[in-house]
Amino acid sequence: MFGGPFYFGLIRKYVILMGTLLNNIRITRTDSTGNTTALLKVPITYGPKDKMLARVLQDPALDKQSAVGPLPMISFEMGKIKYDASRKLHTTGRIAIRSDVAGETSKFKYQYNPVPYNIQFKVFVYAKNAEDGTKIIEQILPFFTPDWTTTVQLIPEMGINMDIPVVLESVNIEDSYEGDFDKRRALIWTLDFTLKGYLYGPIKKSGIIKFANTNFYIPPNVE
């Protein structure tokens, strides 16, 4: 019904975009006199909160290559994908460029307008103490007012680059601990984001119109 297979890896690009936005966060550790004793890069990985937290709490001293690193750390996961009618483009509109394939210089390739979808992401910041958590959060929140827009190369073969807004919807904090209240294990900050992306249909080809034969005439009884 829909024709042959096509794939542009757009959802994968949106996931990479979310990870890239948060992959360069560093925090400092200081001594009692205020001197910096360490500079830590906060690791980020893709995964749901329950699994990531369970891995850390069950055996935080794991030293295997596949183990989750010690706190603080960041994880994120993709949630719902919902159609956004407020950004709908004309259905029959299209983008066209001349074909760059050898032997097809008399043809052009085109795509119809993309379909707007909102993709929800949850970002989780894990920290052993409040100070580490706030150091991370304060490096994220100032850039979202409430959105951060970046240009993404969506369809290289069509030369399509789009500005993709990432909107910060809400921020929540919770304590996660086992046992008594003095045995707190982790503080978890949850940041809800909405990425306003687009999904494209297949690339099609058609011949270039080089000549048009049109007859003009004046209807009778027209002054």
pLDDT tens, per residue, the chain with 223 residues: 566 788 999 999 999 999 999 998 998 887 778 787 888 899 999 988 877 777 666 654 544 544 445 778 899 999 999 999 999 999 889 888 877 766 666 678 889 999 999 999 999 999 888 888 999 999 999 999 999 999 999 999 888 999 999 999 999 998 766 555 555 567 899 999 999 999 999 988 877 677 777 777 777 776 6
- Return d(Cα 9, Cα 71) in angstroms, integer: 32
DSSP single-letter state for residue 106? T
pLDDT at 56: 64
The total number of residues written for the chain in this structure: 223
pLDDT at 57: 60
- Integer Rg of the chain from CA: 26
Coil, helix or strand at residue 16: helix
Backbone angles phi, psi at 18, to 5 degrees: -65, -40
pLDDT at 82: 97
pLDDT at 29: 82
Residue pair 207/106 in contact (Cβ under 8 Å)? The answer is yes
pLDDT at 101: 66
DSSP single-letter state for residue 119? E
Taking the CA atoms of residue 99, residue 105, residue 107 and residue 109 in that order, the dihedral angle to the nearest 10 degrees is 0
